[in-house]
Chain A
């Protein structure tokens, strides 16, 4: 049943969001801390475990794959509802701050990626 997969996906998201919200309150932060990331972890665990086989195999799995495939269309819709006007009306300071932050962050990607690879378990050795 396709809906089993969709229900599993929904349960993972809601559980993750609840934990993220509780983490936010516990840390005294006005934000959900990693709710989506935690939900993803649940789905990874469920899809790698034997206990949830009935909910992730066959037709049930296609219920999850459908939403995974809808990801790009949803992201396009998301882009179309951004407040682009406000972004550019913020003036030069906002543009310079935003652009500089992105450039520096881009530059750090290869630097920090090396941290993971400096350990013995590099890709080549596996």
Chain B
């Protein structure tokens, strides 16, 4: 057991490659046999990943899911921000400039619309739950934008740590739901071409959610959605503690 642990820990990233590879193989097998290919294999793999993250978090009490389990620490590196961004940029290889230009305006509009709409929804829910303090309402609204915008806004405004935790939770729920829900609603919302993928990325904004949701829908759409989504958090951090807070403050 000790020998096993030594080898696994020393080669953590390699272990992660093997474990993820196995997970994907199982997922594609299930997608093929159980759902007849109706559900995409990568959608099942992502759902399995989230499920494993839940149990990993429950078992260890840590904040990075499966990666807190000693033997699977390499998942943390493989699924971390650096590798994610590196692979996302690589998906842009072969993208046509003309496709980007075509959806440029709609893409920009979608980023602002996405931030503002998610913020309003989050803030309204906070008010419905009885919050009246403008700082708390703004922080929770910002959490509904993304789980990064929430704490950035909250700490800029001096919100209590439990409100900040709440905003992070709202953002995480959003991100997870986008991962799982996107392939289910893709057809209904017309998510089948580069233009709508760019609008989708701008509206949803959670980079992890968009990255996984599009991967499970149609990998060809990934670069378009990711392109706009990566501007969303920046715009959210810009508007949250400033204009959006002033507006909330004026209303409440």
What residues make up the interface of A, taking CB atoms closer than 8 Å to B? 9-10, 12-13, 16-17, 20, 23-24, 27, 29-37, 39-41, 43-45, 47-48, 56, 61, 64-65, 67-68, 70-91, 93-102, 104-110, 112-113, 115-117, 121, 123
Chain B residues numbered 147-183 whose CB sits less than 8 Å from any CB in chain A: 148-149, 152, 156, 165-166, 168-179, 181
Does B110 touch A at the CB level, under 8 Å?
Answer: yes
B92 with A40: CB separation less than 8 A: yes
Decide yes or no: A79 and B89 within 8 Å by CB, A24-B234, A29-B238 being known contacts: no
Q: In the bound complex, what is the Cα–Cα distance between A43 and B86 (angstroms)?
A: 11
Are A117 and B227 within 8 A (Cβ)?
no
- Number of interface residues, chain B, beta carbon within 8 A: 115
Interchain CA distance A88-B199 in the complex, whole Å:
28
Counted as pairs of residues, one from A and one from B, with CB atoms less than 8 Å apart, the total is 338
Docked-complex contact B177 and A116, CB < 8 angstroms: no
Please tell me if the beta carbons of A74 and B79 are within 8 angstroms of each other in the complex: yes
B247 at interface by CB-CB < 8 Å: no
Do A80 and B75 touch across chains, with their CB atoms under 8 A apart? yes
Return the chain B residue nearest A16 by Cβ. Answer: B89
Determine whether B102 belongs to the interface, using a CB cutoff of 8 Å to chain A: yes
> Closest A-chain residue to B60, C-beta based?
A85
Q: A108 near B203 (CB under 8 angstroms)? A: yes
**Contacts A37-B230, A72-B45, A108-B203 given; does A84 touch B53 at CB 8 Å:** yes
Min CB gap B239→A, angstroms: 9
Closest chain A residue to B42, Cβ basis: A72
Q: Which residues of B contact A104 (CB under 8 A)?
A: 117-118, 121
In the complex, how many angstroms separate the beta carbon of A38 from the nearest chain B beta carbon? 8
Quick check: B152 and A97 within 8 Å, CB to CB?
no
Could you tell me if B64 and A98 are in contact, using CB atoms closer than 8 angstroms?
no
How many Å lie between the Cα of A102 and that of B213 in the bound state?
A: 12
In the assembled complex, the Cα of A36 lies from the Cα of B90 at a distance in Å of 10
Q: What are 7 A-B pairs at a CB distance below 8 A?
A: A10-B86, A33-B235, A37-B230, A48-B97, A80-B53, A85-B58, A105-B114
Which B91-146 residues have C-beta < 8 A from chain A?
Answer: 91-97, 100, 102-103, 105-107, 109-110, 113-114, 117-118, 121-122, 125-126, 129, 140, 143-145
Q: A68-B90, A77-B20 are in contact. Are A108 and B113 (CB under 8 A)?
A: yes
Q: Which residues of A contact B79 (CB under 8 A)?
A: 74-81
In the complex where A90-B170, A93-B170 touch, is A78 in contact with B86 (Cβ < 8 A)? no
Q: Which one of A37, A74, A83 lies within 8 Å of B84 (CB-CB)?
A: A74
For the complex formed, measure the closest distance between the CB of B148 and the CB atoms of chain A, giving whole angstroms.
7
| A113 partner residues in chain B, CB cutoff 8 A | 106, 190, 195-196, 199
Checking A33, A37, A77 against B226 with a beta-carbon cut-off of 8 angstroms, the contacting residue is A37
How far, in whole Å, are A85 and B58 apart by their CA atoms in the complex? 7
Minimum distance in angstroms from B116 CB to a CB of chain A: 11
Please state if B54 and A84 are interface contacts (CB–CB under 8 Å): yes
